[in-house]
Amino acid sequence: MSDGPFDVFALIIAVIAFIIAIKASSQAAELRRRLSSLEEMFHAQRPVQPPRIPADVWAEASATPSAAPPPLVPQAEAEAGTPPPLVTEDVSPPPLAANTEADAPPPRAAPALAPGFEERLGTRWVVWIGGLALALGGFFMVRYSIEAGLVGPGVRVFLGGVFALALLGAGEWSRRKESISNIAALPIANIPAILTAAGTAVAFATIYAAYALYGFLVPATAFVLLGLVALGTLAAALLHGPALAGLGVVGAFVTPILVSSGKPDYWALYIYLAIVTAASFGLARIRLWRWLAVTTIAFAVLWIFPGLDTSDLQVAPHAFHVIAGFVLAALLVVCGFMFGPTIEDGEIEPVSSGSLGAYLFGAMLIVLSSAHADLALLAFTLLVGATLLVAWRAPAATGALGAAAATVFVVFAEWAVRANPDMLVLPGGPIAGIAPTAIDSAVTLHLVMAAIFAAGFGIAGFLAQGRSNSAIIPVVWSVAGVATPIAILVALYARVAHLDRSIPFAILAVLLAAAFGAATEALARRETRPGAMISTALFATGTLGALALALTFALEKGWLTIALALMSLGTAWISMQRPIPFLRWLAAIFAGLVTARIGYDPRIVGDAVGTTPIFNWLLWGYGLPAASFWAASLFLRRRADDAPLRMVESAAILFTALLAFMEIRHFATGGKMTDAPSLLECALQVCVMLALAIGLERLRQRSRSVVHNVGAVVLTAIAGLVGVFGLLILENPLLWRTDVGGAVFNLLLLGYALPAVLMLLLSYAVVGERGKAYANTIAGGALLFALAYVTLEIRRFYHGPILSSGATMGAEQYTYSIGWLGFGVVLLGVGILVNSERARLASAVVIALTILKAFVIDMSTLTGVYRALSFMCLGIVLVAIGWLYQRILFRRQVAPPPAPQTSI
């Protein structure tokens, strides 16, 4: 084998080792700087002894009688035991200065300055570069000896080992030398750690070269030696800091990759990994290095994957690996449990919860990969039960309950899919990579496990209430206690009953609802504790959920939508009886679930909708949820107008509109639901949307709900778009061949006259409530559709039910003018009778259009008597309209003449 891989591997190991050592040296330098500052502050704050006074000063003071004697220090007064002699002369001592040395506060240590460029260069960088040079020097020396043929392979390996031991010995000697030195610590690089890291890297490279390059070592011996080096590195980390710990844990978990054999021995591998994990967890616990525990768990979980994709999966060693890792994590990593670190009560610690969840995830992978083998299931059940126990004793691991519940659901859901491969078939075909063959496992074992899990999570979730002063702890327990039994019941229903009607499962759902209901009442009677209200709401929601499942199991598939909607209504009603804020959000969440359900299949029951108009599955699938949401909104509105209420109100409006839309679609297509739109469908859609908009406008005047406000505008806009693009363009019988029906009661009456009336009513409904432009726009639409109805009805009179065929003759053109003119006169009469300015303005618009038609169309197309009659009638009508305006609407009163003056 060539020496190239050895060079590359040596260089990589050296660089990694010294990058890790750089971090350690920086941390050690910072610790030394802080220790130096603390020592200086300690010496500065010691009591200052008074200075000794020389003898000549004492003599000079005694020879001068006018001078005051020097004051005694407190220690001298205490030793003398007698007061000083009183001075008889009135001699005042000289005033003391304000800032005397005796009164000055003790000096503080000056803050340590950050090292400059020169100091960094001389004390840190040269040390790091020197350590890297040492490791590379050893590697290059071996390379040179190989290239020059100076020494044989055995001597090369021996020299590499000697050099590694020399570096390790130098690191230990420098550490001890530094610890016994009396020189003050300086912020320099950690030389012992760098030397030890270099020695460790050379030892790894030497053993690997002896195994991989020269074949001096068998795989077992190389494996043991590399493992011992890794464990020794972890042990040295107790003395040299976290850098060596990182190097040791990486080397320990990478060693099985470097030393491999044709037939892997998983028992030897996982026993070795258990020893490494125990050493790493122990070091992390002693030094409180969370990062080391997280790194170890990540590597341990990754080592599960290589053995999962083999055809002959060995379940026993894999189960041992996850169980051993779980036990070690519970003993040494989980805070507040056994030998784990201490933590404040009621706090969920991420590493504690994540460590248990990681090994649960590994156990779940083993179950899925082994096709639910009995041993894998037993190991998984053991770990789930242990998770409940650890979380019960150590609140810091409460977050692992979520991982336990999730993995339990995944296991049972995958088991259900294995027995029902048709559930994998989507509209686009089977899911890629998943075989359609179901692999059955022990049904009895799964049922027993399901009962144990449901009872364990449910009972523990109930008993955990009131045990903690933190609100989040009981809430997590209640979520797991409610969600897990329901999820397991759904998975078993899919597996055993194949999603068909099942009375036994409906009975189980009723019993589960009764258990949740009893738990709700028991919690409601207890004294108030942190998280009690939310937990009570969750158990109440579980009651409703189980009842909804009972309806789903006992009835057909489409009733699931109805059951979820009834859950929203029931939750809203419970929120009235027990004002728990979380219940309002639950009602909104159920409404969202129902909405998502119809997004998956708008027909709810697929092709089984039926052909009977109105009274089909759409009425139950959309009508009952709509009624439930409207009733739920009434309950929620009694408390507050908040986000949950608006979500439920939105769902109520949406389902009401969808009920109308789907029923119209069903009726217009004869139950097929897939045909293209028609004039009948567009006409019904416009009329129903306008009617709903009118109802919402009236409702919002009382509720002042923003949802009702926006809903009315949205429905009006939809009706306008369908009316303009559907009735006037895409389905206009004047443009496309369409049979409009009879002479009077036909599609024209439904598609143009009725929408015009509804638009007029809607415009009056928004007067004074919205802007004037908004109301006038709707009124303009009413006028447009009314004029279109008059025009199309005249066309129907001349051409029969097919309006798009035949030429337009003079009599027809004259009738259009007479019809428009008569329509304008009717509008004017209505405006005069009810004193409506809007009707009179509409009349003016219609008459203006008639005048325009007369001068643009009639003058060029009509001939003979029709042209004369057209203009004669137009003139007579215009004169009559002028007379009406002068004599009735704007009549001017003539002032009477003044009375004659009479003289007295």
Q: What was the pLDDT predicted at 84?
A: 44
Of residues 624 and 187, more confidently modeled:
624
* Listed residue (472, 477, 326) closest to 337, CA to CA: 326
Concatenated DSSP letters for 493-529?
HHHHSTTS--HHHHHHHHHHHHHHHHHHHHHHTSPP-
Question: Which residues neighbour 257 within 8 Å (Cβ) at sequence distance 6 or greater?
Answer: none
How far is 15 from 359, CA to CA, in rounded Å? 32
Q: What was the pLDDT predicted at 436?
A: 36
How far is 403 from 483, CA to CA, in rounded Å? 12
665, pLDDT greater than 60: yes
Q: What was the pLDDT predicted at 805?
A: 87
Q: Are 326 and 450 in contact (CB under 8 A)?
A: no
**pTM of the predicted model as reported, rounded to 2 decimal places:** 0.59
- Residue 429: its H or E element: strand 429-430
Range in 123-137, 645-659, 881-895 with the lowest mean pLDDT: 123-137
Return the SS3 of 217. coil
Q: What was the pLDDT predicted at 163?
A: 61
- Residue 715: its H or E element: helix 706-721
- Residue 795: its H or E element: helix 772-799
- Confidence class for position 495, pLDDT limits 50, 70, 90: confident
660, pLDDT greater than 60: yes
Nearest 5°: the CA angle 841, 842, 845 is 90
Helices (H) and strands (E) in the chain, counts: 33, 2
Which residue blocks in 191-218 are alpha helix, DSSP H?
A: 191-208
Buried b (16+ CB within 10 A) or exposed e, 111-140: eeeebeeeebeebbeebbeebbebbbebbe
- Confidence class for position 494, pLDDT limits 50, 70, 90: confident
Residues 1-41 have pLDDT tens digits of 444 444 444 445 545 555 555 555 555 556 666 766 766 66
Residues 687-731 have pLDDT tens digits of 999 999 999 999 999 999 999 999 999 999 999 999 999 999 999
**Which residue matches tokens 């007379």?**
883
Of residues 509 and 66, more confidently modeled:
509
Nearest 5°: the CA angle 603, 609, 610 is 155
* Tokens coding 561: 């939508």
Q: What was the pLDDT predicted at 64?
A: 40
Question: Which residues neighbour 290 within 8 Å (Cβ) at sequence distance 6 or greater?
Answer: 284, 351
158: exposed, middle or buried (Cβ count in 10 Å: 0-12, 13-18, 19+)? middle
Name the DSSP letter for residue 352. H
150, pLDDT greater than 50: yes
Q: Is 2 left (phi over 0), alpha (psi -120 to 50) or beta?
A: beta
Range in 177-186, 321-330, 659-668 with the lowest mean pLDDT: 177-186
Q: What was the pLDDT predicted at 562?
A: 83
Q: What was the pLDDT predicted at 85?
A: 45
Q: What was the pLDDT predicted at 897?
A: 58
How far is 272 from 279, CA to CA, in rounded Å? 11
Task: Report the chain's C-alpha Rg in angstroms.
Answer: 46
The amino acid present at 59, given as its one-letter code, is A
Q: What is the largest CA-CA distance in the chain?
A: 159
* Listed residue (274, 18, 287, 46) closest to 135, CA to CA: 18
The amino acid present at 378, given as its one-letter code, is L
Concatenated DSSP letters for 615-679?
SSHHIIIIIHHHHHHHHHHHHHHTT---HHHHHHHHHHHHHHHHHHHHHHHHHHTTT-S-SPP-H
258, pLDDT greater than 80: no
Q: Are 528 and 469 in contact (CB under 8 A)?
A: no
823, pLDDT greater than 80: yes
Concatenated DSSP letters for 306-320?
GGTTSSS--HHHHHH
Cα 866 off chain centre by: 74
Mean pLDDT of 467-478: 89
Residues 729-754 have pLDDT tens digits of 999 999 999 999 988 899 999 999 99
